[in-house]
Amino acid sequence: MGKSKAAPDSLDFATISELNQLLRGRQISAQDLASHFLNRLKSIGPQYNALALSLDKLAKKQAKEVDDDLKRERFRGPLQGIPYGAKDLLSVRNYPTTWGAKPFENQIFDDNAHVINRLRGAGSVLIGKLSMVELAGGGGYNGAGASLQGPGLNPWNKAYWSGGSSSGSGIAVAAGLVPYALGSETSGSIMTPASYCGVTGLRPTYGLVSRRGAMTLSWTCDKIGVLARSAEDCGHALHGIAGKDDADPSSAGKSFYYSPQYQRQFRDLKIGYNSLDFNQWVDEPMRPDFLSALNVVKSFGSEMVEMALPDFPYGLIIGCIIDSEAASVFEEFIRSDRVNALADSDQINGLKASLNYTALDYLKAMRIRSQIQASFREVFSKIDVLISPTRFHFPERVDQPFDVQDKNRPAAPGQKGVGAGLVQASNLCGLPALSVPCGFVNGLPIGLQFVGPAFSENTLLSFGREFQRLTDFHKQRPPLMA
């Protein structure tokens, strides 16, 4: 292909809409665009341990098909010709799918994950598989190095963690290696890297996106979602991957159409929050920036409602459910010697311990979960959106075990805010969430999360779009990428 008419440095952090306009205007070819991001992913990705597998041949074939369509003016929508990366728990036919773990490094499946096929139909170009915490963190882990590729290094400061388990997806978007990436969340695995890496992350409602062809950790909690540059880009990507799948028993049978133009006025909505989250629960250096972010949200004109979460032991409940289901999924592996080849010894021990849960433990947890779900239905009968900091602490350092760093953090206040347990509670309830960058403290990004009732993704995205219209945190680039 000839030289692109678009300057290469204008592409790295361009949005999906901007890139789509360049493609449709024939200012750049899909093949040149794929090559540009392939080169970045292969040259920069390994520096941050973000790349699991480059898919050059597949990407170039898909990009050529897009160019052939564009020549014939066959337009498929905003994702057409847009390169992306996928977390390495999503199968890609005839290529390794490692689940981030040494024991599975040679694992190959015969079929693509359902979301990979959907994006192929939309014309999006898969250029690589992205690193992840081994087995998506099943069994628990005690360090950033719990990954086949090594610790996910934060593009804003390589001494800090990128967050997990969708580590490579967060890094790749933050560093301008892909315009968007697929991740997954069971209890925080999209929200955490979105916050730590300073990108926008969308965790959809449970069942809205098919998980067929994805590694199972917890069949009642796993969700496939998106990390991208903006709320708008998340909306376009969700439009591409969501929808009914009769072959996935967990599919909700619903479609998603990104339609921000039809959302209710902010003045007609109620936002639940707790001031303690912003001025006491977060690490002290973060408080001014989080309070400023809260003031931006207050400027929307919605009614602000002070509240606290229903009082449940969210961490204990989701821990029991995830561990019990993971023990069932990985029982044969855990009982074999192969489990000892995992990188994190705490995770090995945690997986082995998960076999000790009883049916009684699991059923008790599921019974309390149903009470939590009923309580949240009551919460969202009174408000439309919950907001809180996405994460309340700075990213962990990559050179120290997590438990050592936890001991050095200040004790939490006695009162409970919204954010205490919100990630765990909303995952137990299968609720959607959006994390947006909302500031920088000590050179590291922080994130604000919006959580809504089931299938309220368009409402959450409209809040994210408005926040990003009024701020420019999502447009900032890591120093080495600027």
Would you place residue 100 in the very low, low, confident or very high pLDDT band (cuts 50, 70, 90)?
A: very high
For the domain that residue 193 is a member of, what is the CATH number? Answer: 3.90.1300.10
Q: Is the pLDDT of residue 54 over 80?
A: yes
285 within some domain: no
Distance CA 334, CA 101 (A): 13
The number of domains in the chain is 1
Q: pLDDT by residue (tens digit) across 142-164?
A: 999 999 999 999 999 999 999 99
459 within some domain: no
Q: pLDDT by residue (tens digit) across 159-181?
A: 999 999 999 999 999 999 999 99
Q: What percent of the chain has pLDDT over 90?
A: 93
pTM of the model: 0.96
Domain that holds residue 250: 8-260
410 within some domain: no
140 within some domain: yes
Q: Is the pLDDT of residue 4 over 50?
A: no
324 within some domain: no
- State the average pLDDT over residues 315-326: 98
Q: Which residues are catalytic?
A: 87, 165, 189
Output the average pLDDT for the chain.
95
Per-residue pLDDT at 7 = 44
Q: Is the pLDDT of residue 8 over 70?
A: no
451 within some domain: no
